[in-house]
Amino acid sequence: MTIRVAVIGAGAAGLCALRHLTTRQYKFRAVCFEQNSRLGGTWIYTDKTGVDDHGLPIHSSMYKNLTTNLPKELMAFPDFPFRGDLPSYVRHGDVLEYLESYADQFDLFKYIKFSTTVIWVEPLTSPDKVTWQVTYKALSDSVVTPVTENFDAVMVCNGHFAVPILPAIPGLDLFQGKAIHSHNYRYPAEFEGKLVVCLGAGASGISISVDVSTTAKQVYMCHRKPSLPTCLPDNVEQKPGVKNVTEHTVVFENGEEVTVDALLFCTGYRFSFPFLSPECHLTTENERIVPLYKHLIHTEYPSLSLIGITKIICPFLNFHHQVLFVIATLDGTITLPSRKNMDEDTAKDFSNRLKGGMPERYAHTMGPLQWRYYDEIADLVGSKRIPPVFKELYETVMQMRNKDFVNLKSFNYKISGPNTYVTSNDNLAT
């Protein structure tokens, strides 16, 4: 019996899902819904901000000068490398080209309904089965009647870098300068000669602070972490968190007050699944989505999965393992535990995070935890584990990022074996 699967989103996660579903034509029939006119999701750069030509919010958060925070050797799908002539740290356009090549290689375009938005997803329950009613609409200038189809499973791949989190800062409504979220940041010329506060010092916060510094007079990078030991441009200065804002100044938590022209919020993004009906029984509180087994599979409705909600990861490696795991549960290769046992496993994972000092909002944050996670779900499926060299290279990159972010991306790497890699500067195996 063929299993019909709806894939929502044709970014990297959706393409990975589509590739592995369509290479199993004997078992699956897949359709991918993408509201953009092209594939790539967050990797599609546009100068536009606000809404697109159809009145929908711009999805991408790409800025003009963005290069990846991880080398391409850690970015690629396991069996589909980037072009060898590219440097390790590639531009967003190179990643988009890579995804288009991936889709070409595996003949995925014919399975994608472009310029189509999913309006509603609702479970239809019967005593022995759950199916999914998916309502979607083609985007056009004329009035189009929505279409409803039934599917056996839904894989949600709509990303989580599109709906900004804006902090509640006293006095922010009084500020007379420019105030935007990094979602709407495009190029540093917007801040030429300005005094800029960048709030947030995650990977994107540091990257954007450095990018803005190329034209800004001064950049204050504000965060509540211990002072970052990394080297930064001379006109980037670390400051504590923001206490309040006035018409023309920012007051930091140490009481210091500085005059600023612009506020740039690099404060992250919210999970958003507006097409999932209340009957899906999926909730998000403090950036924790429940009930999800292995950060992935709905424990009440296991034929509904959310690919790629984990944070601080090697994204394409993550998608690869998650997709294989979901497919194995759908085709019967593996049998999931009972709902009770899945919920207990999820609660244990969350409890261990809290005991380890992670805040509640880090429920799906991985970082160094990602390697055990990949091994775990690979073992459950019986697929290949990621070779140890990937973890070794990742740890090296993280150490270098913490020491010298400015020069981080001048290094190039080549994986030379399952346990070794070489760098372009000293050519020594590590």
- Same domain for 401 and 259: no
Query: Which residue range forms the structural domain that includes residue 96?
Result: 3-162+269-381
| Cβ proximity of 5 and 21 under 8 Å | yes
- The CATH number that applies at residue 209 is 3.50.50.60
Q: Say if residue 141's pLDDT is above 80.
A: no
Q: What is the pLDDT of residue 426?
A: 39
- Same domain for 149 and 39: yes
In this prediction, residue 140 has a pLDDT band, given cuts at 50, 70 and 90, of confident
Give me the DSSP letters along 116-145.
Answer: EEEEEEEEEEETTEEEEEEEEEE--SS---
- The helix or strand, by DSSP H or E, that contains position 31, with its residue range, turns out to be strand 28-33
- Same domain for 217 and 118: no
Global confidence as pTM: 0.95
Residue 313 lies in a domain: yes
The mean per-residue pLDDT over the stretch 267-290 comes to 96
- Same domain for 7 and 134: yes
pLDDT tens per residue, range 149-174: 999 999 999 999 999 999 999 999 99
Number of domains in the chain: 3
Mean pLDDT of the chain: 95
Determine the 3-state secondary structure of 298 from DSSP.
Answer: strand
Residue 430 lies in a domain: no
- Same domain for 126 and 64: yes
In this prediction, residue 425 has a pLDDT band, given cuts at 50, 70 and 90, of confident
- Same domain for 157 and 12: yes
State the sign of the Cα–Cα–Cα–Cα dihedral 268, 273, 278, 280.
Answer: negative
**C-alpha to C-alpha distance for 181 and 268, rounded to whole angstroms:** 9
Give the end of a domain, one of 231, 265, 299: 265
- Same domain for 117 and 27: yes
What b-and-e string marks burial along 143-170, b requiring 16 or more CB atoms within 10 Å of the CB?
A: eeeeeeeebbbbbbbbbbbbbbeeeebe
Residue 66 lies in a domain: yes
- Same domain for 260 and 274: no
Q: Say if residue 49's pLDDT is above 70.
A: yes
pLDDT tens per residue, range 88-123: 999 999 999 999 999 999 999 999 999 999 999 999
The mean per-residue pLDDT over the stretch 278-289 comes to 96
How many Cβ atoms from other residues are within 10 Å of residue 378's Cβ? 17
Q: What is the pLDDT of residue 142?
A: 66
